[in-house]
């Protein structure tokens, strides 16, 4: 059993490099935007232009996540991840060699296409490989890799900033480094197994049995527990194949609609926590808190990345014990309180200053207030990292039946990127216009998320993917009957 567990964790970890790419590209741009040479090279981008540079990646992610629903079903989870790696490499290369804003933005859109596919296919791949007892832990590796990518990008920004303000290497090197993990993902996935559920859906039964035995019983194809799981999956596949969703509109039918809505809502709420405002514009936020130099704000941002990593570890270890609901509820409480404290400190101790270039900053002369703001930014990040960070990816990857899993997950992931795009576009403007008011808005949204999760989200821990019909009270049998009635009517 030990060998199969190692192979299971290895496959999930290699796939999680896709999360590292997302995290790195998210974090690297936050530091680069404030580097003097980058500002000079791109003629001091305005708040709107900064928002566009950030959010064009997210627009690509939105499109990529929608495409991934078809590719994951057609060519499989494994090959979709490999395809996305190639797309990301192209986008990263364009960003690194960009000689103008248009080329930089185009490179970020291309890279976003790759990340969009990865953000859907990686947790889907991990979920379909995992046994119920550790599914949350394995899918949490996606979020853990995201946090590592963010932290690594922060520290690389901090180190490259020391090269010198007159060198383009300060921002081209951080952009170019992300090609390396993309190549590692491309090569590593070549040696990883296919999803056994996808193999069964493609009538490759012997291959599916071999993969499942490798992941559950060290290759023993006669193991009774493994065979029981194999037969359960096969029976479900045979049934669902007759009722496969052929287009996205069918996702709105009962009883599938409830799960699709919950998958979309949890992804939207993950973005409405405001986490990516903190991550994209962390140096700016720390400068508002009183850290005047670029170097100091980048150092504080690097520490922020480390907090993000460390706070994700409890989720990996205990999310399958704590459950999804309690973790989400407690995380929202921590984030909401942190936001309110930050807003109060900036409102009472900060002074709004309009610079000569039209940008807005906050002056905070009270050192204690400045440090308190920074500490509660870290508290917020920790609250997100153990809760909404991992579970925002876990929940959609486990609640859908196989016949709609790829398409429904692609829709929920697209909702994540759509709201990520919108927030990335308007956040810098709101930070200039209402300063501390932005944190009050996010605190109110944290309260809204508590209400929604408490009343509408059932617990899913410990259930197999094939048992989710029981969790949600409506079975795919209802969908089958509805489909047959429609066919009869049309005949």
One DSSP character per residue, 270-298 reads HHHTTHHHHHHTHHHHHHHTT--SHHHHH
Residue scoring higher pLDDT (462 or 245): 462
On the CB side of 198, CA atoms within 13 Å amount to 24
b/e code 139-160 from CB counts within 10 Å (16+ = b)? bbbbbbbbbbbbbbbbbbbbeb
Q: Mean pLDDT: which of 27-31, 315-319, 363-367, 379-383 is highest?
A: 379-383
What's the mean per-residue pLDDT of the chain? 87
- Confidence category of residue 244, pLDDT binned at 50, 70, 90: low
Question: Of 137-151, 231-245, 334-348, which gets the smallest average pLDDT?
Answer: 231-245
- Answer whether residue 72 is part of any domain: yes
- Answer whether residue 224 is part of any domain: no
- Confidence category of residue 483, pLDDT binned at 50, 70, 90: very low
Domain that holds residue 428: 2-219+238-490
Percentage of the chain with pLDDT > 90?
A: 55
Distance of alpha carbon 362 from alpha carbon 296, whole angstroms: 16
Tokens, residue 50: 């900064």
Q: Mean pLDDT: which of 70-79, 283-292, 424-433 is highest?
A: 70-79
- Answer whether residue 39 is part of any domain: yes
- Answer whether residue 246 is part of any domain: yes
Distance of alpha carbon 172 from alpha carbon 179, whole angstroms: 12
Question: Of 57-61, 141-145, 362-366, which gets the smallest average pLDDT?
Answer: 362-366
- The sign of the torsion formed by the CA atoms of 232, 233, 234, 240 equals positive
Is 350's pLDDT higher than 50?
yes
The closest of 315, 465, 486, 338 to 403, measured between CA atoms, is 465
Contact 125, 77 (CB under 8 A): yes
- Answer whether residue 226 is part of any domain: no
Contact 257, 400 (CB under 8 A): no
Distance of alpha carbon 23 from alpha carbon 19, whole angstroms: 6
Question: Of 60-64, 225-229, 401-405, 412-416, which gets the smallest average pLDDT?
Answer: 401-405
Rounded average pLDDT over 43-62 = 84
Rounded average pLDDT over 319-328 = 94
Rounded average pLDDT over 141-158 = 90
Residue scoring higher pLDDT (361 or 44): 44
- Answer whether residue 34 is part of any domain: yes
Is 180's pLDDT higher than 90?
yes
* Structure-token match 């000689």, residue found: 99
Q: Please give the tally of structural domains in the chain.
A: 1
Contact 20, 149 (CB under 8 A): yes
Instruction: Indicate which CATH number applies to the domain containing 138.
Output: 1.20.1250.20
One DSSP character per residue, 456-481 reads H----TT--GGGHHHHHS--HHHHHH
- Confidence category of residue 361, pLDDT binned at 50, 70, 90: low
Rounded average pLDDT over 122-148 = 93
* Sequence-separated (6 or more) residues with CB below 8 Å from residue 482: 253, 254
Distance of alpha carbon 318 from alpha carbon 378, whole angstroms: 21
3-state secondary structure of 363: strand
- Answer whether residue 409 is part of any domain: yes
Which pLDDT score, from 0 to 100, does residue 250 have?
Answer: 73
Whether the ω angle into residue 255 lies within 30 degrees of 0, i.e. cis, is: yes
- Answer whether residue 227 is part of any domain: no
3-state secondary structure of 491: coil
Write out pLDDT tens, residues 248-260: 777 777 778 899 9
């Amino acid at each position: 059993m030990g060998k199969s567990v190692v192979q299971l964790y290895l496959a999930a970890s290699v796939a999680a490099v896709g999360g590292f790419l997302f995290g790195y590209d998210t974090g690297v741009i936050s530091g680069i935007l404030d580097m003097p040479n980058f500002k000079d090279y791109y003629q001091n981008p305005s708040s709107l232009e900064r928002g566009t540079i950030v959010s064009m990646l997210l627009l690509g992610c939105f499109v990529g996540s929608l495409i991934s629903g078809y590719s994951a079903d057609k060519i499989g989870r494994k090959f979709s991840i490999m395809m996305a790696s190639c797309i990301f490499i192209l986008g990263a290369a364009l960003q690194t060699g960009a000689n103008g804003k248009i080329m930089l933005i185009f490179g970020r859109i291309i890279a976003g296409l790759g990340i969009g596919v990865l953000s859907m296919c990686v947790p889907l791949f991990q979920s379909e490989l995992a046994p119920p007892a550790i599914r949350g832990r394995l899918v949490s590796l996606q979020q853990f890799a995201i946090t590592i990518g963010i932290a690594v990008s922060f520290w690389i920004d901090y180190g490259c900033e020391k090269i010198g303000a007159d060198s383009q290497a300060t921002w081209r090197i951080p952009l170019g480094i992300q090609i390396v993990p993309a190549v590692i993902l491309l090569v590593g996935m070549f040696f990883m197994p296919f999803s056994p559920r996808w193999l069964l859906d493609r009538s490759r039964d012997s291959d599916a049995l071999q993969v499942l035995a490798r992941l559950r019983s060290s290759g023993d194809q006669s193991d009774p527990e493994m065979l029981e799981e194999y037969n359960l999956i096969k029976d479900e596949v045979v049934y669902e194949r007759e009722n496969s969703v052929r287009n996205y509109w069918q996702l709105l039918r009962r009883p599938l609609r409830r799960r699709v809505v919950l998958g979309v809502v949890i992804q939207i709420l993950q973005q409405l926590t405001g986490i990516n405002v903190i991550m994209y514009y962390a140096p700016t936020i720390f400068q508002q808190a009183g850290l005047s130099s670029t170097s100091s704000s980048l150092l504080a941002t690097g520490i922020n990345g480390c907090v993000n990593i460390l706070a994700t570890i409890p989720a990996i270890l205990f999310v399958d014990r704590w459950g999804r609901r309690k973790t989400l509820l407690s995380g929202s409480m921590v984030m909401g309180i942190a936001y309110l404290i930050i807003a109060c400190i900036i409102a009472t101790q900060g002074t709004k200053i309009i610079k000569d270039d039209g940008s807005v900053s906050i002056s905070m002369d009270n050192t204690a207030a400045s440090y308190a703001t920074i500490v509660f930014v870290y508290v917020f990040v920790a609250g997100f990292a153990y809760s909404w960070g991992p579970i925002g990816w876990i929940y959609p990857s486990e609640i859908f039946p196989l016949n709609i899993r790829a398409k429904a997950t692609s829709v929920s992931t697209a909702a994540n990127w759509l709201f990520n795009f919108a927030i990335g576009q308007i956040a810098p403007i709101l930070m200039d216009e209402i300063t501390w008011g932005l944190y009050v808005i996010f605190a109110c949204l944290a309260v809204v998320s508590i209400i929604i999760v408490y009343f509408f989200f059932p617990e899913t821990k410990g259930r197999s993917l094939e048992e989710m019909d029981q969790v949600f009270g409506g079975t795919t049998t209802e969908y089958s009957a509805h489909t047959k009635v429609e066919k009869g009517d049309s005949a």
